[in-house]
Amino acid sequence: MSRGAVEKHISPATAVEKHINAIFEKLELRGTRVAAAGCSPFRAIWEAEREGSGSRGAEEEAAMAESKSTPVTAELYDYVLRHNPPLDPVLRELVEVTHRNLPQQAGMQSAEEQAPLLAFLVRLTGARHVVEVGTFTGFSALAMARALPADGRLIACDVSEEWTAYGRKAWAKAGVEDRIDLRIAPALDTLRAMPAEPHIDLAYLDADKQNYIPYWEELVPRLNPGGLIVADNVFYHGQVTEAAPPSAGAAIQAFNDHVAADARMEAVMLTVADGLTLARRLGRGGGRGASEG
């Protein structure tokens, strides 16, 4: 995903502005009336909200809820990156190499803030067996492989020798090539050739969108109880809210509905980059209240 996608998940401020303007109009606190009120405009707004909360309409309630989302400006995005674990030199070089050599495809690379998040999830879950569906130039695979224990293993699924060649070089340079098993083949073939019993601790899904549901259906039965699927691009540039999106957007719409209805999994959708879903495998009983084990 491109960094440019980061602003696509932000709620518009228009409704919030309308809400605040309506309050000012009610209070007639424009210009000198603010000073005459003997308090700051923000205090006046708070007082008005408290007094009028009983009669606030649905539109105003929606505006207040929407205001809880902070627009991620370029400055705030840079702030996030500065306060996340920094990319190590090999990861940083891989980002630069990808953009330099594959400028038309570089937007396929996972967003920079996803590298420390994926590594964090690998460590948090104690994952030893990771599967990545869609490797591109190996950025996310490298981030996860670095977080694996020495005997951990990551199976990376892709169809491009050209693109993954950049990853192979980076993995070797980082000293984790022995943890990554790159399989050049259609990912569905690779997944179906895996053992059918649960053995996967974490799977990262970032490949062709039309096959997200088939990938999901191959991965879920192979997840250990408590195992995670991390699915990228679940906003698909905002197309998921459209009535009739293009084919890839429609595929992600269907995928999101499929995930939400899957009683085997517990899932949350996050506003990270172009949308990220984290889904946890529940116990073998299948229900959301089932015990794990």
Measured from the Cβ of residue 38, the count of other Cβ atoms closer than 10 Å reads 8
Tell me which residue of 234, 254, 257, 233 sits closest to 244, measured CA to CA.
254
Find all residues with CB under 8 Å of 32, minimum gap 6, and list them. none
Residue 232, strand partner residues: 276
Instruction: Enumerate the CATH 3.40.50.150 domain ranges in the chain, comma separated.
Output: 84-281
Q: What are phi and psi of 267, to 5 degrees?
A: -130, 145
User: Which pLDDT tens digits describe the chain residue by residue (293 residues)?
Assistant: 433 333 334 344 444 444 444 444 444 443 433 444 444 444 444 444 445 445 445 665 565 456 677 888 999 999 999 999 999 999 999 999 999 999 999 999 999 999 999 999 999 999 999 999 999 999 999 999 999 999 999 999 999 999 999 999 999 999 999 999 999 999 999 999 999 999 999 999 999 999 999 999 999 999 999 999 999 999 999 999 999 999 999 999 999 999 999 999 999 999 999 999 999 999 854 444 443 33
Residue whose entry in the numeric block shows the structure tokens 């909360």: 53
Residue-level pLDDT at 283: 86
Q: Could you tell me if 277 and 268 are in contact, meaning their C-beta atoms sit under 8 angstroms apart?
A: yes
Tell me which residue of 109, 108, 72 sits closest to 248, measured CA to CA.
108
Tell me which residue of 116, 123, 131, 117 sits closest to 148, measured CA to CA.
123
DSSP label at residue 54: G
Q: Could you tell me if 234 and 275 are in contact, meaning their C-beta atoms sit under 8 angstroms apart?
A: yes
Chain-centre distance for alpha carbon 36 = 48
Residue-level pLDDT at 12: 40
Residue-level pLDDT at 284: 58
Handedness of CA 160, 166, 172, 174 (dihedral sign): negative
DSSP letters of 152-202?
-EEEEEES-HHHHHHHHHHHHHHT-GGGEEEEES-HHHHHHTS-SSS-EEE
Q: Could you tell me if 202 and 125 are in contact, meaning their C-beta atoms sit under 8 angstroms apart?
A: yes
- The tokens for 256 are 């999101």
Whole-model pTM? 0.75
Pairing mode, if any, of strands 153-158 and 180-184?
parallel
Residue-level pLDDT at 70: 86
- Cα–Cα distance for residue pair 288/293, rounded to 1 Å: 13
Residue-level pLDDT at 69: 79
Reduced to 3 states (helix: H, G, I; strand: E, B; else coil), residue 242 is coil
Residue type, 195: P
DSSP label at residue 241: G
CATH architecture of structural domain 84-281: 3-Layer(aba) Sandwich (3.40)
> 139 burial class (0-12, 13-18, 19+ CB within 10 angstroms)?
buried
Measured from the Cβ of residue 30, the count of other Cβ atoms closer than 10 Å reads 11
